[in-house]
């Protein structure tokens, strides 16, 4: 969830409004409703396999997966001291959201402190990041851009880029390999 409030559950569930940084999954085939409740609502939606088809409730099926609604207040954040991916003295935090069955592809949230400046080193074929809260400046040999909430970064292959932020920021990262963040 980037902006606003969202509710995603079965049609009989009491509304649980999830704010920015909340995370949810909806397994294929599951009957559900999704509702938004904010002046401005923006989500980042990832579909792991397609095609994405909306079907009537009578065509629902059970794929043996369960939906998950994770409110922002219930995220578990780990500090740089606890993680090898964060090689910095700055007060960054990382929250793990999901991992593929083979353990290679992961979805994580990276929380950057105000006045952050560092390099992101990517050692994977796929690296995607979406700005969830705040804004960051992306600097590379070709760019020096201010990216606000909803902006997207993609790096295909090994490489690095510089990120800085004058305010706290949160990024959602999807990667099929290792990355680290350094001063």
Q: How confident is the model at residue 28 (pLDDT cuts 50, 70, 90)?
A: confident
pLDDT digits (tens, 9 = 90+) for 129-171: 999 999 999 987 777 899 999 999 998 888 888 999 999 999 9
Q: What is the pLDDT of residues 92-118, one digit of tens each?
A: 888 999 998 888 899 999 999 999 999
Note whether 183 and 165 are within 8 A (CB). Answer: no
* pTM of the predicted model over 0.85: yes
* Average confidence score pLDDT of the chain: 87
Structure letter (DSSP) for residue 42: B
Determine the pLDDT at residue 86. 61
Domain segments of the chain as ranges: 1-72, 75-182
The domain at 75-182 falls in which architecture?
Sandwich (2.60)
Q: For residue range 42-93, list pLDDT tens digits in order.
A: 999 888 766 677 788 888 888 888 888 899 999 999 887 777 656 666 678 8
Backbone phi and psi for residue 59, each to the nearest 5 degrees, phi listed first: -105, 15
How many Å apart are CA 62 and CA 44, to the nearest integer?
25
For 80, what's the count of Cα atoms within 13 Å in the CB-facing half-sphere?
14
- Per-position b or e across 113-122, b if 16+ CB within 10 A of its CB: eeebebebbb
């Amino acid at each position: 969830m980037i902006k606003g409030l969202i509710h995603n559950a079965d049609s009989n569930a009491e509304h649980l409004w999830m704010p920015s940084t909340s995370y949810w999954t909806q397994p294929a085939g599951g009957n559900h409703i999704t509702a938004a409740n904010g002046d401005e609502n923006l989500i980042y939606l990832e579909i792991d396999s397609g095609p994405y088809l909306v079907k009537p409730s009578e065509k629902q099926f059970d794929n043996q997966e369960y939906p998950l609604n994770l409110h922002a207040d219930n995220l578990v954040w780990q500090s740089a001291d606890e993680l090898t991916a964060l090689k910095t003295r700055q007060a960054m935090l990382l929250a793990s959201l999901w991992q593929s069955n083979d353990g290679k592809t992961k979805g994580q949230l990276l929380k950057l402190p105000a006045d952050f400046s560092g390099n992101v080193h990517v050692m994977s074929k796929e690296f995607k990041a979406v700005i969830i809260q705040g804004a960051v400046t992306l600097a590379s040999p070709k760019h020096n851009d201010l990216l606000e909430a909803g902006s997207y970064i993609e790096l295909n292959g090994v490489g690095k880029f510089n990120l800085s932020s004058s305010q706290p920021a949160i990024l959602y990262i999807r990667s099929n390999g290792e990355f680290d963040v350094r001063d």
